[in-house]
Amino acid sequence: MAKTLATHNGFRRGFTLVELLVVIGIIALLAALVTPAVMQAQVAARNAAIKAEIDMLHMAIMNYKNEYGSFPPAISGTSTTDLAAKHILRIFPRTNSIAAEVTGTITPLNSIYGWLSGYSSDPTAPVSAGNRQKLYDFDKGRLDNTLSIYYPSGKPGAPYIYINSGLYTSGTWPASTAVTYTVGSNSTSYTIAARTYYPLTQSGTYFNSETFQILCAGRDEVFGNDDDLSNFWPGTRRQYLDSLSQ
């Protein structure tokens, strides 16, 4: 009867303070349970996107080798007798002036963009003639135009690094001093620590010993940590290390 009268009089009972606190507590508990899973899923998705791009870059360099007969060098200067000059002259023996084709120092930081930008249809000026036929569709929004460094979305401190197998034992990069570079107009500097970062297998041999390595520092932009990605680990560095202990 009381319920009927309350409804008839237009009175509607609200939540008590205790009930509200219980609901808020349940929502907070659910949020605490769901948030880590959501964050882990986001990290996994971002890592998967980087790994997928590494795999595409890997295939592009393999296509380069199939097209031109060898893998491009990861390090070279501007001398007409350096590795880059010899590489281009082997592919394009009709080159008029190799000095005009080799105009910038090549490092593992910029070699991916430099070589996968391809060549022009002019065999006498394969680089300088312009209109080069790219072997990879670079996202220009993730490319530093000054340094030709290509990096994952929002991660200029974790550039894609290409190292051909000929460098594995040379110790020429990053050598004894850190590699520091500045991307964009904000003058933010990024550093790759002084180390020869060519990962070894458990047996002491180099990964991809006959081809090349593509490396990325991952979301934390620091090499040597758990989220490093490459073209020789199926996932992250941590996932690879965990697989060894299983």
Summarised one tens digit per residue, pLDDT across range 191-226 is: 887 665 678 887 888 899 999 999 998 888 888 888
Cα-only R_g, the chain: 27
On whether residue 89 sits in a domain, the answer given is: yes
CB 182 within 8 A of CB 157: no
| DSSP secondary structure code for residue 236 in this structure | B
On whether residue 4 sits in a domain, the answer given is: no
CB 106 within 8 A of CB 123: no
CB 123 within 8 A of CB 94: yes
Tell which wins on pLDDT, 86 or 246: 86
On whether residue 98 sits in a domain, the answer given is: yes
Residue 200: beta bridge partners? 206
On whether residue 222 sits in a domain, the answer given is: yes
Stated pTM of the model: 0.82
How, if at all, do strands 229-230 and 212-216 pair? antiparallel
- Amino acid at position 227, single letter: D
**In the prediction, which pLDDT does 5 show?**
45
Give the domain range for residue 164. Answer: 17-244
How many domains would you assign to the chain?
A: 1
pLDDT at 2 over 50: no
Alpha-carbon span 236 to 48, nearest angstrom: 9
On whether residue 7 sits in a domain, the answer given is: no
On whether residue 171 sits in a domain, the answer given is: yes
On whether residue 112 sits in a domain, the answer given is: yes
Read off the pLDDT of each residue in 113-119 and give the average, rounded to a whole number. Answer: 95
% of the chain residues with pLDDT over 90: 48
CB 116 within 8 A of CB 90: no
pLDDT at 165 over 50: yes
- Burial class for 42, CB neighbours closer than 10 Å (0-12, 13-18, 19+): exposed
Alpha-carbon span 175 to 197, nearest angstrom: 9
**In the prediction, which pLDDT does 19 show?**
75
On whether residue 3 sits in a domain, the answer given is: no
Beta strands in 23-133 (DSSP E): none
